[in-house]
Amino acid sequence: MRGADDKADRTVLVIFAKRSTLALRAGIHAKVVSERLWHATIAITLDTNLHAIPAMQEEAVAVVAGLMFAAKWKV
């Protein structure tokens, strides 16, 4: 019977991991995601979801570049 409990535990962890990854990719601040998951520190959230960070970095570069380009023409 222990096998069923282990499977349920893994399922819960997978749901938590997917929820946090989706939240971060949607632009929800990592501190908010961390608090919602009851992580002791934001570092736990970021370390756990490191795979989501590269996509976020690319998005951030695009946004900042767009802002800088737009500001260039307004000056």
Helix (H), strand (E), coil (C) string for the chain = CHHHHHHHHHHHHHHHHHHHHHHHHCCCCHHHHHHHCCCCCHHHHHHHCHHHHHHHHHHHHHHHHHHHHHHHHHC
pLDDT computed for residue 68 by the predictor = 86
pLDDT surpassing 80 at residue 74: no
pLDDT at 31: 93
* Containing structural domain, residue 51: 2-74
Domain count, the chain: 1
Per residue in 16-72, pLDDT (tens digit) is 778 888 888 888 888 999 998 888 999 988 888 877 777 777 888 888 888 888 766
